[in-house]
Amino acid sequence: MNKLSLIFFSLIAYSGFSQEHFAGLTNSSRVGIISTSINPAELANMSNKFEVNIIGTSFNVSNNKIGFSDLFSNTDLESLLFKGNDPVNMSVDAQVYGLGIAMKYKKWGLAITSKAHGKLDIVDVDTKLGDALVNAGLNSAFGSSTISNNYNQRMNGTTWGEVGFTLSRNLIDKEKYKINIGATFKLLFPGSYANLGLDKFQGTITNSAGQVYMNNTTANLNIAYSGGLASSFSNFNDYSQSVFGNLNGFSGDLGFNYQWKDKPESNPKKNLNKYKLNLGLALRNIGSMTFKDDNNYSTNYKLNIQPTLANPLGLNLNQFQNVDNLQQIETILINQGYLNVTPTKKDFKVKLPTLFSAYADLKIISKLYVSGYIQQKINDNNENDQITAQNSFTITPRVNLGFFEVYSPWTNNEISGFNGGIGFRVGGFYLDGHFYKIMEYKTSIKYRKEKLKQLLNVLILREQEIVLALCNDFKKPEFEAVVTETSYVISDLKNTIKNIESWAKSKWVLPSLLNFPSSDYIISEPYGKVLIISPWNYPYQLALCPIISGVAAGNQVVVKPSELTPNTSKIINEIISEVFDKNHVEVIEGGIEISQKLLAQRWDYIFFTGSVAVGKIVAKAAAEFLTPVTLELGGKNPCIIDKNCNLKLTAKRIVWGKFINGGQTCIAPDYLLVNAEIKQKLVDALIEEIVLAYGENPEISKDFPRIVNTKNWKRLASFLENQTILFGGKTNESDNYLAPTLLNEPSLESSVMHDEIFGPILPIISYKEESEIEKIISKYEKPLSLYVFSNDMKWAKNIVKKYSFGGGCINDTIIHFSNKRLPFGGVGYSGIGAYHGKLSFETFSHKKSIVNKSTWIDLPMRYAPYKEKVQTIKKLLNWF
């Protein structure tokens, strides 16, 4: 006698029907009517002859801004939603499952179901634009922000109902496995709809004492509305009455199901839907619906907001604060002349969120299962006529005790990232929810790469502004600004984006035979909170490159740029604020007192570029907390010229390497040691090259920079006192100008030979014997760089090997800095650590060593008691 099946109830808790949302499939004993929404083929797995569904609900919210803890804070949620710089994405998905009936007949499963949908979506909305529209405000009482986006920003709401007819059949039923197929045909009843789309938005938002204006703005604007959502956003009763409209659409689902059966039990009823593995594939929501209503409108506009006599500041956004529907927005824009097309009544079609899904539910041991689910959207969420969906991947372990079940889905979706939750089933009642969100920007390679790509786009877009800032700070020539700053940073950034995934991978190493059998590898993990203090001489490059590496390695970064180059520091701050959230990367401007306050804090890593004197202060502060450091310092960099050299080329390369950036380069030649036999010829060649490069009067040359400030100018000018000047020596304090200058045989005890020069002054000292070179170089601490010019490669290579220094060149100057495959850094007083290229990533990464030791064998030699083991161990150690 056929037995009437169970009647399933789902209560409205956090999400009474949310196992499908979170886990992606209906597992455990809940197979039948509810399963058809995920895969119609599952209907053939019904355990009973009949099933009836009374009501079931699901409510799912995903967003990339607000965490679970924020719901209990005092912070305004609208402000949190539009914080930071990442575009806002949010999806609210509510479903109510109404009356449904299912029946199983032999190998067939049949069902009729009903469902109501409600969706609200925010897609890729710029935070500054969203804040201005929703909150009518920027972060300050006065200020402006330029927004430039090439994608479509959308705010969309949709309600509709559906009635589904599902047919499923068991095709194959063998002793060890079975295969089902199924299809659902759905009648669609579109209810309410509203869409506001802004494509290719370019514009400026200005806050003037609390009044927010939009100006110089263009965009492709789509406004569409129908039903209750046309007249109100916030009155639920207004559009809940039109959740179900007339029949105006169709859609379908297709499904495939495979089960690897478990060992049969003596009671045949217990073998129903009992498996070791359950696999499914489904293609869902294939179709669309057409909105037809008395207040139906869909219009594409060209938005153009420019200053007028009536509105010289542009469109006042404050007037949108109390707007309750799209018709009001449309009317305001048309009446003020920013839209030049009259809206017309129009039926419009909306596509359902077509999805491909695959899942597997695996029995691990008795009562313990693990399911995996992948969902891939087919359509583009940015299209104005598209109901959105999101890609997701879920792993769900569950313990099924029959009447009671507990499960914990862990999901990664493209909006809210990683989420975790827990759910319970008691009989036919379910209570579950997602309550935990993991903030993973530090360790997500995908996130790091996305942010670096955003940074690249902004740097390219604002390159000319950066060049201008460098010129305004100390008249850096455009060529030098591009070659040594902007292009170098862009190249470094592209190289990092290209290689970040391979750099971040765990590195497997050959295991020691003493640990056999084992798997040994190295994990690169971020240090954590990193402080970068950058200098003024290459203020853009030496700030951005460490930032790039710090972010690539997964750190939170705080950057203190130099106060001596305020224009460059300002634009760095603007760029970083535009791309990164402050809790990820933050620029803090200020002078010495700010640096002192920062150094008093505890950091996980400090990266400093600057003078030896300040480097000691940084090292001392880091020692307080045992913080690891990279110190990029300087020193007295010797340039040694052999009598056997290409004199003209030597002079050309020395002049370029010394006087680029006005001599304010940490790796520039600090002094020349030239063989006495060719000294005069070299001096003549140097003078000739200086004149060729900067003219007879370098002060009027556009290619020669200035000293960064008056304090440094006075320091350099004092070096010229009581010196024999071979060339140059002209100064102009009012312009911080100091000409390219050659000094003849300064005393080693003079001030110019005591400290690093860091300016356009080049002392020339002659030697007769090689021993004199050693005597002079050994007087100073280990330099950051050393250069040697000679046609005698054996002699030149011997010089390079003989002395300790950070890096250098044979027959050239400073170019070793440009090779990303070469480590750049000092030794001793000239610095600690090195970076560039892959080594930059490694500098900001902790190398964690792991030995994964096997348990299937365990050699007893290492364990106590040690009696008579010593000699054996010594022999083994000698072998390895």
Residue 380 gets the label, from left (phi > 0), alpha (psi -120 to 50) or beta, of beta
Q: Is 632 one of the catalytic residues?
A: yes
Q: Cβ neighbours of residue 223 under 8 Å, at least 6 residues apart? A: 195, 196, 297, 298, 299, 301, 326, 329, 330, 343
SS3 (DSSP) at 86: coil
Q: How far is CA 148 from CA 313, 464, 547, in A?
A: 19, 17, 24
Inter-residue contact 597 to 569 (CB < 8 Å)? no
Inter-residue contact 707 to 716 (CB < 8 Å)? yes
Q: How far is CA 748 from CA 643, 667, 713, 718, in A?
A: 22, 20, 22, 16
**∠ CA(195), CA(199), CA(204), 5° rounding?**
110
Please state the length of the chain. Answer: 880
Q: Cβ neighbours of residue 731 under 8 Å, at least 6 residues apart? A: 713, 717, 720, 737, 738, 739
Inter-residue contact 567 to 539 (CB < 8 Å)? no
Q: What tokens appear for 222 in the block? A: 């789509």
* Cα 462 from Cα 754, distance rounded (Å): 41
* Cα 683 from Cα 655, distance rounded (Å): 11
Inter-residue contact 635 to 783 (CB < 8 Å)? yes
**∠ CA(62), CA(68), CA(73), 5° rounding?**
130
Q: Cβ neighbours of residue 544 under 8 Å, at least 6 residues apart? A: 459, 489, 492, 493, 572
736-773 CB burial, b ≥16 within 10 A, e <16: bbbbbbbbeebeeeeebbebbbbbbbbbbbbbeeeeeb
Inter-residue contact 97 to 163 (CB < 8 Å)? no
Task: Classify burial at 48, counting beta carbons within 10 Å of its beta carbon; exposed 0-12, middle 13-18, buried 19 or more.
Answer: middle
Give the single-character DSSP code of 735.
G
Pairing outcome for strands 50-53 and 100-105: antiparallel
Q: Percentage helix, strand, coil, to 5, in the chain?
A: 30, 35, 35
Q: How far is CA 100 from CA 32, 33, 97, 161, 357, in A?
A: 10, 7, 8, 14, 23
DSSP per-residue codes, 768-794 = SSHHHHHHHHTTSPPPSEEEEE-S-HH
Inter-residue contact 259 to 275 (CB < 8 Å)? yes
Q: Single out the residue of 766, 748, 555, 763 nearest to residue 643, CA to CA.
A: 766
* Cα 838 from Cα 500, distance rounded (Å): 9
Catalytic residue among 330, 405, 485, 632: 632
Q: What tokens appear for 228 in the block? A: 């209750």
Helix 541-552 and helix 445-461, axial crossing angle in degrees, nearest 10: 160
* Cα 825 from Cα 784, distance rounded (Å): 7
Inter-residue contact 14 to 22 (CB < 8 Å)? no
Give the single-character DSSP code of 482.
I
Catalytic residues: 632
